[in-house]
């Protein structure tokens, strides 16, 4: 959660999941030394949940309305039900979702309607979740991390070979970190510090692009996308080696954002052709110095801004619904490097900086971001999307800052994604076929077309107006106060 108050105060609230005390470096390697699927699916995939703690921490520090009043709407939705949307119904009928959820009794009963499935317009009621939320309403975060809920989670874990214990839950603490702040032209960029890799990523890529004329040929041109892709692949190479939990690894943020580093990255870009990722290695920096997702962006009538991203990681998390409690468990342990140097669920290659250790926070791509101009709030933005989060936030921010788009135009503009390895440039199908052809033939990018990349939620402020832009790629919405 990234917070920027109307008085200029900023804060970053880290309620990321953490590895259980029983976690170990090689816990997801089989006898053959290859990664198993335990980090993606099942009881061993879950880190210690942090959302309830983080929301309570934010409420105690910044909230005004009573906690019970804030939790009650969620209880009402769980008890009375809500209509299943078209997109939600589609996700529940996805063969991969079915294969994951039907393996676990409560998941199959609740989310697959005991095998009968849900159709668009059906009502989904969740009585077990209602009871869990009522405990959170009445007892705060202690209603989740202690007492009957914590006991049930731990009991379920013990019965199915999971790692989470009551002690893990009781020991979880939200961490208050300084927000990461940088400059792009005449804008101030406030964003996420490690253990998110996203803030460092967008600041490094903005720095690389700022010294070029990448925008000369206009938004959506092949040349613009080429420069974006080259900046992206260089950051993700650095990410693979140098990003991790700052409590366990000294992330060289200053070195990664040093003007000399950025100038060298910029100079390595061929403006006329893609650089093969095999020729790009992570930089050499000193670490001795003085990182299934939901996002929402909010600006209130007083000018306070909040950008929040949180996640279960993969679709429907680990597939496990906590027995008798009604909520899905995450599979965040796969955001570590189960085998350093080998790709994870998202194809990301990560090094020892993000290896598994007890109590450690896995590296994330979550990039809640706020833009200021001349000290005034100009935009609040963020998105789900795994590693595509970083590049989606980058592109929409540049659409606002460099191309003068309004919020909806910036969100609607087609997007790309490159993450160094595998050496593929993902591009949305809505990009002009001529542009795709130029990226392939003139610039030499190996392309994969996708229906959509990201799900941006953006607020833009200009001359007293507030624009809220949902992403038409999904069922996102915007609502005024």
* Active site residue ranges: 293
How many C-beta neighbours within 10 Å does residue 450 have? 13
CB 252 within 8 A of CB 289: yes
Report CA 449 to chain centroid distance, whole Å.
22
CB 280 within 8 A of CB 269: no
The CA distance from 196 to 192, in Å, is 6
Q: Is the dihedral of CA 55, 57, 63, 66 positive or negative?
A: positive
The CA distance from 22 to 40, in Å, is 17
Report CA 15 to chain centroid distance, whole Å.
12
Q: At a CB cut-off of 8 Å and minimum separation 6, what does 463 contact?
A: none
Q: At a CB cut-off of 8 Å and minimum separation 6, what does 347 contact?
A: 387, 419, 421, 422
How many C-beta neighbours within 10 Å does residue 282 have? 16
CB 386 within 8 A of CB 344: no
The CA–CA distances, whole Å, from 234 to 68, 121, 341, 419 equal 47, 45, 17, 8
The CA distance from 272 to 264, in Å, is 17
Residue 264 main-chain phi, psi, to 5 deg: -65, -40
How many C-beta neighbours within 10 Å does residue 235 have? 26
Instruction: Find where tokens 């992330």 sit.
Output: 251
E-only strand ranges, 106-199: 123-124, 175-177, 180-184, 187-191
The CA distance from 192 to 37, in Å, is 29
How many C-beta neighbours within 10 Å does residue 448 have? 11
Q: What is the total residue count of the chain? A: 481
């Amino acid at each position: 959660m990234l917070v920027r108050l109307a008085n200029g105060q900023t804060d970053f609230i880290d309620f990321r999941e953490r590895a259980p005390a029983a976690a170990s470096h090689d816990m997801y390697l089989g006898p053959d030394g290859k990664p198993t699927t335990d980090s993606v699916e099942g009881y061993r995939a879950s880190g210690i949940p942090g959302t309830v703690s983080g929301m309570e921490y934010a409420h105690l520090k910044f909230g005004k309305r009573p906690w019970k009043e804030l939790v009650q709407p969620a209880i009402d939705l769980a008890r009375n039900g809500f209509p299943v949307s078209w997109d939600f119904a589609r996700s529940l009928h996805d063969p991969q979702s079915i294969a994951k959820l039907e393996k676990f009794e409560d998941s199959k009963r609740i989310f697959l309607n005991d095998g009968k499935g849900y159709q668009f317009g059906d009502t989904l009621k969740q009585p077990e979740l209602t009871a869990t939320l009522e405990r959170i309403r009445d007892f705060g975060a202690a209603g989740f991390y202690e007492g009957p809920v914590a006991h049930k989670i731990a009991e379920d874990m013990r019965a199915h070979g999971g790692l989470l214990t009551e002690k893990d839950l009781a020991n979880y603490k939200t961490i208050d970190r300084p927000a990461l702040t940088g400059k792009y032209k005449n804008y101030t960029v406030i964003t996420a510090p490690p253990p998110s890799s996203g803030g460092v990523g967008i600041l490094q890529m903005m720095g690389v692009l700022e010294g070029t004329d990448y925008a000369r040929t206009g938004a959506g041109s092949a040349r613009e996308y080429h420069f974006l892709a080259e900046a992206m692949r260089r950051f993700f190479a650095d990410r693979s080696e140098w990003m991790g939990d700052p409590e366990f690894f000294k992330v060289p943020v200053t070195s990664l954002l040093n003007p000399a580093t950025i100038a060298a990255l910029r100079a390595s870009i061929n403006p006329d052709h893609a650089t093969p990722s095999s020729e790009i290695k992570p930089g050499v920096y000193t670490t001795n110095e003085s990182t299934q997702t939901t996002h929402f962006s909010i600006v209130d009538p007083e000018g306070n801004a909040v950008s929040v991203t949180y996640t279960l990681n993969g679709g429907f998390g680990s597939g496990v619904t906590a027995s008798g409690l009604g909520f899905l468990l995450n599979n965040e342990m796969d955001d570590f490097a189960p085998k350093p140097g080998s790709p994870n669920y998202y194809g990301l290659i990560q090094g020892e900086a993000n290896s598994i250790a007890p109590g450690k926070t896995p590296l994330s791509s979550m990039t809640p971001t706020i833009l200021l101009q001349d000290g005034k709030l100009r935009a609040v933005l963020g998105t789900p999307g795994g590693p595509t989060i970083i590049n989606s936030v980058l592109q929409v921010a540049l659409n606002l800052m460099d191309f003068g788009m309004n919020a909806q135009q910036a969100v609607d503009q087609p997007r790309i994604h490159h993450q160094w390895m595998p050496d593929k440039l993902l591009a949305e199908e809505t990009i002009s076929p001529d542009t795709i052809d130029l990226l392939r033939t003139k610039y030499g990018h190996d392309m994969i077309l996708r229906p959509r990349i990201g799900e941006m939620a953006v607020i833009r402020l200009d001359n007293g107006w507030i624009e809220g832009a949902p992403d038409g790629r999904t069922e996102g919405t915007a609502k005024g106060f």
